[in-house]
Structure 1
Amino acid sequence: EIPEGATAYKCAPPIREAFNRDLLWDAVREGLLTQVVTDHSPSTLDLKCNDSGDFVRAWGGISSLELGFTVLAGQARARGIALETLLARMTEAPAELVGLTQRKGRLAAGADADFFFWDDNAKRTVHAVDLQHRNPITPYEGRELGGQVVRTFLRGREVFRLEAGKPVFAQTSGQWLRGAG
C-alpha cells in the first residue's frame, strides 16, 4: 500500500487500493486484459515534489524495469495465474499490438532472441541502494520478492547475469524498431 500523500510514487495509471488491483488481476485471468506492460518513467527525487506533497507538479512515473517482472510474477502466482499467461501478456500480445511479431514477443527462427532465465526459488529483499537504475525510487522498499531474473539476452547476446549475487552487465546497443502504422 502507498502512504497517503506520497508523491514519490505518483505514476500513470496511479497505484490504487487493493480492491482495484484485484479487479485488474481478475481481468488478466479472464482474458479481458490481454496486455501487461510497464511505463518505466523514472524520475529524480527532486522532481517528485516530496517536500511539498504537490501531486499536480510531481513527475508522474517510477522506475519499473528492474523489478517489474519479479513483482508481477509474484502477484500472478498469488492469484493462481500461470507464469506462461503472464509472459504471453508481457511479450506476445504487445508485439502483436505494434506489429512486431516477426521480430519480438516470441522465440522462433528469424526473430530476435530476446529472453531471460528465471530462478523461481530465489528470494530478494528490495533496498533502493541496491537497485541498478539511475533513480532508485521504489514503492517496494523492504519488501521480500520471490523469483529472480538471473540472465538476460538481447538479440541472442547475453547482456546481464547474476554472478555470486552481484549484477554483471555487458555493453548493450538498442535499436529503433518500426512497427505497424
Structure 2
Amino acid sequence: MITRVAQKYDSVRTHIVHLSAADALPLIKLFRSNVGNRLTVETCHHYLNLNADEVPRDRVDFKCCPPIRDAANQTALWNGLKSGDINMVVSDHSPSTAEMKLLFDGPDYGNFMKAWGGISSVQFGLSLFWTNCAKHGLGINDLIRLMCEEPAKLCGFHEQKGKLAKGYDADLCIWDPSDEFTVTPDIIHFRNKANPYMNKQLKGIVHATIVRGQFAYKRSTSELFNFVGRLLKPKPSKHI
C-alpha cells in the first residue's frame, strides 16, 4: 500500500519506518525504481542484533512492534543495508516501566500478549551497530552514512547536522571503536532500564558526546550535563 501511494502521487515523500520483515525488500526495490529517492526505508537496532530463535521464554523485554524475526531475516536486513535498499538505522527507543513490561512476579508475568511492546536502545545504538558491522562487510563510512547523514537528510537538517563540515553544528562523539564493555544496569542512563541487551558484550565505548560544541556527557565522571536544547526547524529536502 505504501509503495503504491508513493508511485501514484509524484509529489509525496514516503518513508517506511521500523522495517522488520526482509521479505518486503524486493517490493521496495521494485517501486523505488519508479519513484527514486522519494521512498526511503529505515530499520532498527533490535532487528539487526536480535533474532526470534534467541528470545528466552517469558522474556517480554524482547517484545516490540513489529516483532523480532528469525536469523535468516536478520541477515537479509544487513544485506539490505549493504545494497542501499535500506537507507538508515534508528533506535525506535521505546522505554517502559518494569510493571508495564510485566517483568514482576504476578499472574501476568511474561505474558507477551499483555506486555508493553517496545525496546530501549538509544544509549547503546552506536555500539550495537558497530559490534556487528565488520561481520556483515560494513565499516565506519557506512556507520556515518546510515546513522548520521541519512537521518539528517530525512529530517531536513542536511545542511546543519549529520557531518563534520564548515557551517554545521559541532555535534561530536568521542569513542574508542576497539574497546568493549558489558551492558549492566549501573551504566544505563535512561530511567527505565529493562532491555534485552543486558549482559551482552558490545564493541565501541563512548567516552563523551558534544552537542553544538558543548559537552552533554562524559564517561570518566558518568556526568550528564544540563544543557538547554533548542527548537530546530527543518529545511525542505530534495533527498526524498
**TM-score strictly above 0.5:** yes
Contact 2:175 2:204 (C-alpha < 8 Å) held by counterparts = yes
In the alignment, the residues of structure 1 paired with residue 232 and residue 57 of structure 2 have an alpha-carbon distance, to the nearest angstrom, of 40
Paired residue type of 1:174: G
Residue of structure 1 equivalent to 2:151: 94
1:11 aligns with 2:64: yes
Instruction: Give the superposition deviation at 1:174.
Output: 2.3
Deviation at 1:5, TM superposition (A): 4.0
Give TM-score, length-normalised by structure 2. Answer: 0.69
1:175 is aligned, of 213, 219, 230, to 230
Shift of 1:35: 0.8
Matching residue within 12, 29, 41 for 2:82: 29
Report the 3-state secondary structure (helix = DSSP H, G, I; strand = E; otherwise coil) of the residue aligned with 1:27.
helix
Which amino acid in 2 is paired with 1:15? I
Q: Which structure has greater helix proportion?
A: 2
What are the equivalent positions in structure 2 for 1:86-165 lying under 5 Å apart?
86-163=143-220
Please say if residues 126 and 204 of structure 2, whose CA atoms lie closer than 8 Å, have aligned partners that are also in contact: no
Distance 1:175 1:40 in 2: 21
Cα deviation digits, residues 59-78 of structure 1 (max 9, x gap) = 22122111111011111122
2:96 is aligned with 1:43: yes
Per the TM alignment, residue 121 of structure 1 is displaced from its structure 2 partner at its CA by: 2.0
2:123 to 58, 63, 66: 66
Distance, in Å, in 1 between the alignment partners of 2:96 and 2:147 is: 23
The TM-score normalised by the length of structure 1 is 0.89
Per-residue deviation at 1:20?
1.2
Task: Give, as a single letter, the amino acid of the residue that structure 2 aligns with 1:14.
Answer: P
SS of the residue corresponding to residue 169 of structure 2 reads: coil
- CA spacing shift, 1:13–1:68, aligned 2, 3 Å: farther
Structure 1 residues without counterparts, runs of 5 or longer: none
Q: Out of 107-116 and 51-60, give the one that drifted further.
A: 51-60
Residue matched to 1:78: 135
| Cα displacement string for residues 99-119 of structure 1 (whole angstroms, at most 9, x for unaligned residues) | 111211112222211120120
8 A contact 2:183–2:199 mirrored in 1: yes
Deviation at 1:180, TM superposition (A): 5.0
Question: What letter corresponds to residue 167 of structure 1 in structure 2?
Answer: S
Aligned AA (1:100): F
Question: What one-letter code is carried by the residue in structure 1 that aligns with 2:154?
Answer: L
CA contact (8 A) 2:173 2:210 kept: yes
Letter in 2 for 1:177: L
CA contact (8 A) 1:73 1:86 kept: yes
Aligned residues: 179
- Answer whether contact 1:77 1:83 (CA < 8 A) is retained: no
